[in-house]
Homo-oligomer: A and B are copies of this chain.
C-alpha cells in the first residue's frame, strides 16, 4: 500500500487529524503552508538524540521508527514504535530537551517541520492545537499500557499485547488487513521494547506458534487466532482511542 501523499507529504498530517475531527478549509490550508523538508533515511538511523534540543519536529511519512533510551552497559529500552502519520517528537513543542532518542527501524521517509511554525500554527488554531495535544495524550495512554505490561504481565502476555496493539494501529492507518501486518522488528527489538531478552522472546514466540496464535516470519505478523490473542493479553483497545474505526 504505497501512501499517496503529495509532494510535500504534509497531507499525511491533514488526513490523520481529519480522521479525528473535521478541519476547516482555513486550518487545512494553514497546514498545507507549513514548510517541510523531506528526508529518506536508512534503517537503524538516529533521527534525534537524547539530550538534543531539536528545532524541527518529525512527521513519519513511511516506514517505522522507535523512541528509545540507552542505559549503562548497553542496556536499551524501546519506549514506543511509530508508523506513518505519527509525530514522535511532538512534545519538543513545549518541552525543549529530548529525554529519549528517536531512530528508524527500517528505511523510512520523514518530513521535518520547524518547531516554530508548528507552535505558531497551534497558537493560531486552538482546534489544531487540541488535536495535536490529543495525539500526545494518546501517546501517554500507550505508555501507561506498556508500563502495566512490564510491571504486571508475563512475557507471553506482554508479547501478545504488543501484537494486538500494533495490529490495530496499523489497521487504523490502512497498513494492515486480514489479520496480517508488517512487523519489521528483530527479536532483539521486541525484547528491548518489552523488558526481556532476545533469547526469552525467541522461546515465547515458539510457544505462541505452538498454540497456533500467530506466526511471525519475514517481517510479517500473521494472527492465526485473534480472539485467543486478545484473551491471552487481556487486551482492551480503549486506550488507543481509534474513535472512528471498529476494534473487532
* Contact assessment for B147 and A95 in the assembled complex, using a CB-CB cutoff below 8 Å: no
List, in ascending order, chain B residues with CB within 8 A of A141's CB.
91, 95, 99
- Chain A, interface residues (CB within 8 Å), range: 35 or more
Q: Smallest Cβ distance from A83 to chain B, in angstroms? A: 19
A66 at the interface (CB under 8 A from B): no
Task: Find out whether the CB atom of B95 lies under 8 angstroms from the CB atom of A152.
Answer: no
- Contact in complex: B152, A77 (CB < 8 Å): yes
Stretch in A6-14, A31-39, A67-75 with 4+ CB within 8 Å of B: A67-75
Q: How many copies altogether?
A: 2
Cβ distance A139 to chain B, nearest Cβ, rounded Å? 6
A143 an interface residue at 8 Å Cβ cutoff? yes
What distance in Å separates the Cβ of A234 from its nearest Cβ neighbour in chain B?
6
Give min CB distance, A154 to chain B, whole Å.
Answer: 11
Residues of B within 8 A of A130 (CB): 94, 122-123, 129
A228 → chain B closest CB, angstroms: 16
Which A residues are closer than 8 A to B by beta carbons? Answer: 51, 67, 69, 71-72, 75-77, 79, 91, 93-95, 97, 99-100, 122-123, 126, 129-130, 133-134, 136-141, 143-148, 150-153, 192, 194-195, 234, 238-239, 241
Is the Cβ of B143 less than 8 Å from the Cβ of A95?
no
Nearest B residue to A94 via CB reads: B134
- Chain B proximity of A222: nearest CB distance (Å): 27
In the complex, what's the smallest C-beta–C-beta distance from A63 to chain B, in angstroms? Answer: 22
Cα of A192 to Cα of B147 in the assembled complex, Å: 11
**Cross-interface CB contact of A137 among B95, B144, B239, cutoff 8 Å:** B95
Which residues of B sit under 8 angstroms from A144, Cβ to Cβ? 67, 69, 79, 99-100, 143
With A72-B234, A238-B97, A239-B99 already in contact, the answer to whether A140 and B194 are too (CB < 8 A) is no
- Does the CB pair B151–A77 fall under 8 Å? yes
Q: A51-B238, A94-B130, A99-B145 are in contact. List 6 more A-B contacts (CB 8 A).
A: A69-B144, A71-B148, A71-B234, A77-B151, A150-B195, A151-B195
